Chain A
Amino acid sequence: MVHEWALAEGVCKYVASVAKGKRLRRVRIALGELQSIDENVFRFALTELLKTQGFEVDEDVVEFVARYAVLQCRRCGHSWGLGETGLSEEEREAVHFIPEVIHAYTSCPKCGSRDFEVVEGRSVEILEVLWDDSVEDAIT
């Protein structure tokens, strides 16, 4: 049982906090490339956890959107992707647990600075929770 369960628990708690007792239509989640989340494990974990909260979870309820990692240097402005970092398997594994440790393993390919931003594709991000209901107000 891998640590995707821990992240799925947070998502489940969020969904339960906004849609408890309602019929779920969709939970749309962005998965950042940096954290290399195992989609199948995450889907299984989230589905099982949602069921324990009393949700009926149809096959198409949980939807993933892949987000490629974009890194941008704060010193020179250069942007690059994860493919250009040349991280080893072990380093990718470390970044999987704590995405910020990417700063320990790579730097800007143009100027060498470790002061770069993960502009996109860091981790798990809930994009939308959709449910059927006639009482609750929509909140953005």
Chain B
Amino acid sequence: MTQWKTLSRDPRRLVIEERLKSVRRVVPVMSPKGGVGKTVMSALTALTLAEKGLRIGILDLDVTNPSIHLALGVDSRLKPSEERGVIPPEVWGVRVMSVAYYSEGNPLPLRGFELVDVVREVLAITVWGALDYLIVDTPPGMSDVFMEVLNNVRRVEPLVVTTPSPLSLKPVKSLLKILREVGVPVLGLVENMSDRPSEHVLSLCREYGVRYLGNVPNDPFLNASVGDVDTMRRTQAFRRVEELLRAQELLR
């Protein structure tokens, strides 16, 4: 007897786990609010971990506004190589994957379901190899990309970024609520652009049982160093991120 079955599942989703099987920890850097420093925090975290000899990858899922390649000063001539998928080039000891390799700096306006396709495509074709950490820079909001990461990547441990502003804290509270509802453990919360720990942020961490990693003061030299990693490494922000990661024993 002949049997048949039509497609009820997206085949790309079936290989995502395979692609990430040798990645020890997947850390999406998240915040529903824009402008709180997710990209810089992603870049600083990846660079710090790589400097300590850990195997690090960074994936830019801010698809319509990719900027990790700018933060890390990735040479625009660099492209992923092909070997049963695409292999991200290594920059400053970090394997960097971004749609920017393919969009070449052109505007890339996309609808939600198109973003879903991009996320699945990238996750399905990128061959990371063995990594200790895969840092994922995510766009603001809790929309398509956010949900695709939660639904398609097992064992994520988000690093939540906020500023002390109530305009950032309220959306972060919603984010923590959603992560708790779906049982996703939060790696920790960083209070960015803040000279000292804010009671509101600490209180939010206590309420949701989230580890407060610490505050990172606003660093006037950081923006000027973007794209120049040697200079970025000399900033106060870089040293502070290093301190926080060491204090939390994440540098291993």
Which A residues contact B (CB, under 8 angstroms)? Answer: 1-3, 5-7, 9-11, 13-14, 17-19, 22, 25, 94-95, 97-101, 103-105, 114-115, 122-134, 136-140
Contacts and interface: CB of A to CB of B under 8 A. Distances in A.
B125 A18 contact: no
B12 A10 contact: yes
Contacts, number: 128
Contacts of A123: 121
The A contact surface, by secondary structure, is mixed
A20 to B, nearest CB: 12
Contacts of A132: 1-3
Contacts of A22: 3
Contacts of A25: 2
The winner among A115, A125, A138 for most chain B CB atoms within 10 A is A138
Interface stretch (B109-117, B181-189, B207-215, B229-237): B109-117
Contacts of A9: 15, 18, 84
Given A11-B11, A99-B117, A114-B107, A131 B3 contact: yes
Interface residues of B, number: 41
B127 interface: yes
A133 B4 CA distance: 10
Contact of B6 (A10, A13, A94, A128): A128
A48 B15 CA distance: 16
Given A13-B14, A125-B7, 12 more contacts: A6-B85, A9-B18, A13-B15, A13-B18, A14-B7, A97-B86, A97-B121, A99-B117, A103-B109, A103-B110, A104-B103, A139-B5
Contact of B14 (A17, A124, A133): A17
A10 to B, nearest CB: 3
B82 interface: yes
Contacts of A122: 117
The B contact surface, by secondary structure, is mixed
Contacts of B11: 7, 10-11, 13-14, 124, 126
A126 B7 contact: yes
Interface of B: 1-15, 18, 82-86, 99, 101-104, 106-111, 114-115, 117-118, 121-122, 124-125, 127
Contacts of B106: 104-105
Contact of A104 (B85, B107, B124): B107
Given A2-B82, A138-B3, A94 B103 contact: yes
A46 B124 CA distance: 15
A2 B87 CA distance: 11
Contacts of A10: 10-15, 124
Contacts of A13: 11, 14-15, 18
A101 B15 contact: no
A140 B82 contact: no
Contact of A103 (B12, B108, B124): B108
Contacts of B109: 103, 114-115
A139 B6 CA distance: 7
